[in-house]
Amino acid sequence: MQKKRTDNFSKFAEKKKGAAIKESYRQEKRKVKADARAAGEEMRMLKKAKARGEAIEPKKVEDKRAVGKNPERKKTAYQQKDFKKGPRNAAPGKTKLINGPEQASDTAIQDRDSLIPLNKFIAHAGVCGRREAAELVKGGKVTVNGDKIFEPGFKVSQADKITVKGKAIFLQKNNVYILLNKPKDFITTANDPQGRKTVLDLIKGATLERVYPVGRLDRNTTGVLLLTNDGELAQKLTHPSFEVKKIYEVTLDKAVTKKDLELIVSGVTLEDGFVQADSVGYADSKSKNVVGIEIHSGRNRIVRRIFEHLGYDVKGLDRVLFANLTKKNVERSKWRILNEKEIRLLKFMNKSFIRKNKEAV
């Protein structure tokens, strides 16, 4: 009986060559990447739909991890998401929208490295220390994206909308707060085309940050002036709706009558409208030409114009208080950096330096 001859040549000839094997691997990798891109796009569409409140049935896409292992294995795009790459607080099977439905963004979700504990965020925002911040959180005083959070270690980022006792807070980014006791003959501006001396000339060397004066004081008005690079705070302190308290010491050319003091409190009508002081009185009982006036209006040259309207010539005007800031221990032309407590009071618009409700007044 003749033995069957083995065709060894055919066995080797039919075997795929190295180049063909490499090409098949490339094709497989391309397919995996295409599937991953499709899954990612599907995931983004689901997020946007969820943010808009729409209900969309997730499409079936092939799981990239199943290719080459188990072709029968399938997952939806929503199931395929790797939650280890998402926000740390997101529970499995639930997508966490960092900014809430109105402000959801892929950038915010991907910004995982900037996540910090909630109590640390509050402390860095200048509200209080970490321990006090933890108590605020535990007491239900803090919300993140509209939800009350009770865990001090809850991870948040700058993209989150965080409030403490109903007031939004933000991380400080090299913010600088400088109190200056302004002298005469300096103008309250960052630069002057006419080359006159500005308040920034007085704080040279105080900081490398670019700061600006909050509000204005006339060239010949002296006293408390705040300079900062915190634009949000500056806007609050100068906005008429907050009615921040200001106290001035006014030196006049003659004694002020009690009748005129009463008139200033009841209100006078100037060329730009009605205005009244919150309180007014003699600064020194022996000298009736030196008066203290508390006012919340931020109108231009308002104190000078009130007294000029009543027939007085203002010889000197010194702001002794602005919000919670005084010139105590700060000599004329000198400055100092605000401490943390002063900054907190300013940021949270402490009730002690904001005018009461008009009904209460």
- pLDDT for 178-218, tens place per residue? 999 999 999 998 778 888 999 999 999 898 888 889 988 99
Residue 53 confidence (pLDDT) above 80: no
Please give the pLDDT value at position 339. 92
Predicted confidence (pLDDT) at residue 321 exceeds the cutoff of 50: yes
- What is the per-residue pLDDT for 286? 82
State pLDDT tens for residues 258-294. Answer: 999 999 999 999 998 999 999 999 998 788 999 999 9
Domain ranges of the chain: 18-81, 101-168, 177-353
**Joined tokens for residue 119:** 């109590």
Mean of pLDDT values over 6-18: 56
What's the pLDDT band for 158 if we cut at 50, 70, 90?
confident
| Residues 6+ away with beta carbon under 8 Å from 173 | none
Q: Is 230 a catalytic residue?
A: no
The DSSP 8-state label assigned to residue 206 in this structure reads S
Beta strands in the chain (DSSP E): 60-61, 75-76, 116-117, 142-144, 147-148, 155-156, 162-164, 167-168, 177-182, 212-213, 221-228, 246-252, 268-270, 273-275, 279-284, 287-295, 314-322, 325-326, 335-337
- Which entry of 113, 201, 218, 272 is annotated as an active-site residue? 218
Across the range 146-152, mean pLDDT stands at 93
Answer for the pair 73, 66: CB distance below 8 angstroms, yes or no: yes
- The domain made up of 177-353 has a fold known as Pseudouridine synthase (3.30.2350)
More reliable by pLDDT, 309 or 19? 309
The pLDDT of residue 97 is above 50:
no
CATH 3.10.290.10 fits 101-168, yes or no: yes
The pLDDT mean for the chain works out to 78
